[in-house]
Amino acid sequence: MTASQVLEMAKSQNARQIDIRFTDLPGLSQHISYPIRQLTEDAFEEGFGIDGSSIRGWAAINESDMLLIPDPTSAYMDPFFEVPTLCMVGDIIDPITRQRYDRDPRWIAKKAEMFLQNSGLADTAYFGAEAEFFIFDNIRFDQNAHSGFYFIDAEEGRWNSSRAENNLGYRPRYKEGYFPLPPTDHYQDLRAEMVEVMLSVGLDIECHHHEVATGGQCEIDQRFNTLVKSADNMMLYKYCVRNVAYQYGKTVTFMPKPLFGDNGSGMHVHQSLWRSGTPLFAGEGYAGLSQMALWYIGGLLKHSRALSAIIAPTTNSYKRLVPGYEAPVNLAYSRRNRSAAVRIPMYSASPKAKRVEYRPPDPSANPYLAFSALLMAGIDGILNKIDPGESLDKDIYDLSPEELKKVPSMPASLDEALDCLDSDHDFLLKGDVFTEELIEAFVSYKRKHEAEAVRLRPHPYEFALYYDI
């Protein structure tokens, strides 16, 4: 939509307020609301002033004034607010220079798309992300100088099978929650309501189902879209999931590994390149791939250890990415092996369906940064004709120790991942898509506020291990 069409939409929907949304560096949505009279055609050029100094990973207080420019193509009516509110995604502008702000994750994603087009390799990158999540009934946690704990409860959790009161059974067994019918699947109606809300705000949903873990693990799949639009859609997806659950008295988490002893939540990212409406990843090579697609995979695999800091960016991510637990930690590619980092889906022989699926990411990632970094790694693979090596079509658990040693793996911790990003990020700097300053800020933030913060605090299990030592 154009600015004038958005104004017409606001009028026809009787919108009384506008809400402009943007994303901080770690990947959490932020927003600010205004009375509808503030929305004029000039506002789409002049923007709205905000203080950016308190936004995580953004400017220092002496550079805090920023402009938020609404994007008319992102407009939709909020499905949750009581007062009719028209929402748009905003882009961040420096009010002095009128230049785009280099720490705005959405600007990085736009630069990645421009770099692809300027490279001449393709004109469009399609991304389709599958974000899993848990639905819980109660969550308690705290951490202070003398105590630290978390307590999760879910009506659907297998651990409630021995409960004396109000117990009707029908709960997924650990690691057996994939595709059960209700009443074992407790959340069919809740997911269906989430899907209806998503459709009402313009998201294109393909399917939904229960996932492998007990305790309410679910997945709702969106149709692929262009890089920036897919990242916008992922932020809106999370907003819808959280708020529908909240209305039902439930709570949702996108933490990659909230439960010990059961599957974690991933965000598998499907990717393909196109030019002039023609798919470029279909060919006569392995699994029906083109040489371009194989080089793209080569780039993903070569840079995976550096990518991990961006696509699996939390300390909790590495509770999921653990060798030997069906996690996609092995830096190899395969047409079917789901323990490989890159899988080539074989559901359809159509060239339009040919794509690569990158499996290490999880939904704690900032989608703007994650999708951009994946594209830059893939482009680097194509430009430098990086050979992905031999495919890994064996069951990883049938490999001998000697064979397994030859398969590189993802980092084992956030600290290690940040070290890898520190030493391998030149591919991200091409075309000024990422800047050295942005990467330094990202690594510094993650080290200080997450990796070091967790490392400094005693873990509850340490008391079980060591209290009587």
CA-to-CA distance for 389 and 379, rounded, in angstroms?
Answer: 17
Known active-site residue 219: yes
Q: pLDDT at residue 404 above 80?
A: no
CA-to-CA distance for 369 and 445, rounded, in angstroms?
Answer: 15
DSSP 424: S
CA-to-CA distance for 376 and 358, rounded, in angstroms?
Answer: 14
Bridge partners of residue 138, in order along the sequence: 153
Side-chain-side CA neighbours of 424 within 13 Å: the count stands at 20
Give one word for 368, left, alpha or beta, with left for phi > 0 and alpha for psi -120 to 50. alpha
Known active-site residue 63: no
How many whole angstroms from its chain centre is CA 409?
Answer: 21
What tens digit of pLDDT does each residue of 77-98 get? 999 999 999 999 999 998 888 8
What tens digit of pLDDT does each residue of 159-216 get? 999 999 989 999 999 999 999 999 999 999 999 999 999 999 999 999 999 999 999 9
- Please state, in angstroms and as integers, the Cα–Cα distance from residue 126 to each residue in 164, 191, 224, 265, following that order: 50, 25, 6, 22
What's at 195, amino acid-wise?
V
Query: Pick the catalytic residue: 106, 268, 305, 320?
Result: 268
Percent of the chain with pLDDT over 70: 98
Cβ-based neighbours of 405, under 8 Å, separated by 6 or more: none
Contact between residue 429 and residue 290 where contact means Cβ atoms under 8 Å apart:
no
DSSP 45-66: HH-EEEE-TTSTT---GGG-EE
Query: Pick the catalytic residue: 71, 91, 104, 357?
Result: 357
How many whole angstroms from its chain centre is CA 258?
Answer: 16
CA-to-CA distance for 74 and 202, rounded, in angstroms?
Answer: 9
CA-to-CA distance for 291 and 276, rounded, in angstroms?
Answer: 19
What tens digit of pLDDT does each residue of 303-318 get? 999 999 999 999 999 9
pLDDT at 59: 67
What's at 344, amino acid-wise?
I
What tens digit of pLDDT does each residue of 2-31 get? 999 999 999 999 999 999 999 999 999 999
Query: Pick the catalytic residue: 8, 41, 46, 51?
Result: 51
pLDDT at 398: 72
Helix H or strand E segment including 172: none
Residue range 406-412: mean pLDDT, rounded: 90
What tens digit of pLDDT does each residue of 355-381 get? 999 999 999 999 999 999 999 999 999
Query: Pick the catalytic residue: 158, 359, 425, 450?
Result: 359
Inter-axis angle of helices 304-311 and 436-446, nearest 10: 70
DSSP 412: S
Contact between residue 26 and residue 55 where contact means Cβ atoms under 8 Å apart:
no
Bridge partners of residue 140, in order along the sequence: 151
What tens digit of pLDDT does each residue of 200-219 get? 999 999 999 999 999 999 99
pLDDT at 62: 52
pLDDT at 60: 59
Q: pLDDT at residue 61 above 70?
A: no
Query: Pick the catalytic residue: 71, 185, 211, 362?
Result: 211
pLDDT at 113: 98
Known active-site residue 211: yes
Query: Pick the catalytic residue: 19, 78, 104, 132?
Result: 132
Query: Pick the catalytic residue: 185, 219, 232, 262?
Result: 219
Three-class secondary structure of residue 365 per DSSP: coil
Known active-site residue 268: yes
Q: How many C-beta atoms lie closer than 10 Å to residue 276's C-beta?
A: 8
Side-chain-side CA neighbours of 331 within 13 Å: the count stands at 20
Cβ-based neighbours of 177, under 8 Å, separated by 6 or more: 185, 210, 211, 212, 213, 214, 217
The two structure tokens encoding residue 87: 């929402």
Contact between residue 300 and residue 254 where contact means Cβ atoms under 8 Å apart:
no
Known active-site residue 359: yes
Three-class secondary structure of residue 375 per DSSP: helix
DSSP 192-256: HHHHHHHHHTT--EEEEEE-SSTTTEEEEEEPPEEHHHHHHHHHHHHHHHHHHHHHTT-EEE--S
The two structure tokens encoding residue 340: 């490989």
Taking the whole predicted model, whether its pTM rises above 0.85 is answered as yes
Q: How far apart are the first and last CA of the chain?
A: 66
Known active-site residue 196: no
pLDDT interval class at 434 (50, 70, 90): very high
Query: Pick the catalytic residue: 173, 223, 338, 455?
Result: 338
